[in-house]
Amino acid sequence: MTFLSVDDSVTIRKIVSLALKGAGHTVVEAGNGKEGLEALKIVKADCIILDINMPEMNGIEFLKARKTDPRISRIPVIVLTTQDEDALKNQALALGASGFIAKPFQKDALLATIKAIAG
């Protein structure tokens, strides 16, 4: 599977990338929502791992843009963020997120969530 990891933290992107590549997947990285949308014009992702708090275009704005684009609106999105408030979770889920993982996270939890959501 091909994953798009969208997070402004290079460290988090590298941790996600190592976990997914170690499980045999391909990973494309983007530093914010705008870069993520641009990457999706080139790469066919099977799943998106998305942070919420990012500069330029945050995760909620990304989810809103994704929802209006039929090319990418069905790609599963797993939100991976430090914010664990119910209101934020509900907003992300209402905008089409398929799952929610709080940072810091365990590699096994990430891989289990991905398997449950994206197959």
pLDDT at 14: 96
The mean pLDDT of 82-103, rounded to a whole number, is 88
Domain definitions of the chain by residue range: 11-85+96-105
Phi and psi torsions of 83, nearest 5°: -85, 125
pTM (2 decimals)? 0.92
Rounded to a whole number of angstroms, the distance between the first and last alpha carbons of the chain is 9
| pLDDT tier at 28, thresholds 50, 70, 90 | very high
Nearest CA to 90 among 60, 48, 53, 50? 60
Other residues' Cβ atoms within 10 Å of the Cβ of residue 118: 19
Per-residue CA distances from 91 to 22, 66, 70 (Å): 31, 14, 20
Name the H helices within 1-119. Answer: 10-22, 33-39, 59-67, 86-94, 107-118
For residues 10-23, give the mean pLDDT.
95
Position 85 scores a pLDDT of: 77
- Give residue-wise pLDDT tens across range 59-73: 999 999 999 999 999
pLDDT for residue 41 is more than 90? yes
pLDDT reading at 83 higher than 80: no
Fold of 11-85+96-105: Rossmann fold (3.40.50)
